[in-house]
Homo-oligomer: A and B are copies of this chain.
Amino acid sequence: LSRLFAEHDFLAIPVIDAERHVKGIVTVDDIVDVVQEEATEDIQKIGGMEALDAPYLEIGFASMVRKRAGWLAILFVGEMLTATAMGFYEREIARAVVLALFVPLIISSGGNSGSQASTLVVRALALGEVKLRDWWRVVRREIGAGLWLGAILASIGLARILVWQLLFHTYGDHYVPIALTVAASLIGVVMWGTIAGSMLPLVLRRIGFDPASASAPFVATLVDVSGLVIYFSVASLILRGTLL
């Protein structure tokens, strides 16, 4: 209904029953309230919680904590998979502790690029700018964007490792393969972040869920787990024979 108003600049829409009797009128000021409420709900879901349905300072403390605890606990259980995933690579970490240092940097880059992508698609879906049938156009855009964004972060990462190596000799003799591992992982993780982040809202809508549940923290958690696998796989490939 609010989309009707937005698209046609109507001031009021009559509501009629089956016999075409007017049952009431929806005016634009009702719609302003609804639009604000819907945006608030979407924003809170994007922030990774249930919609509060009440102003922040007025909602009861217990019900606010409940509405935040649910998603937080789900995300926590999902994020536990990172401990499992890292457990698989415990031997590699023990051999090359330097690998562990870059874990937060790399997985968070995937989470950040994924948050951007999911937020864009969630909002575009809510406004009707993107439909389910546009999924292929979205994927193509996000693969391209991921490649560019990944390359930008990889260059910054490369520069940082080389400068630190030059100044402090931080990364020892194997700094070239380490730098390559970080750069290649960044491109992979950021691309995976943009693809997963943009597709998740579409998948949720397709199976009947609210796309806005593809929150920034949800996407970040998803990409954290898979980002670790990408990172350590790349590391095994590049560092086999030297550090590992």
Contacts and interface: CB of A to CB of B under 8 A. Distances in A.
Interface residues of A, number: 95
A184 interface: no
Contact of A46 (B65, B121, B157, B216): B216
Interface string A118-145: 1111111001011000100110010011
The 4 closest A-B pairs by CB, nearest first: A47-B119, A39-B39, A216-B216, A28-B28
B217 A112 contact: yes
B86 A104 contact: yes
12 contacts: A11-B29, A28-B29, A43-B122, A46-B216, A47-B119, A65-B148, A65-B149, A75-B108, A76-B157, A86-B100, A108-B111, A216-B216
Contact of A101 (B83, B101, B119): B83
A6 B220 CA distance: 35
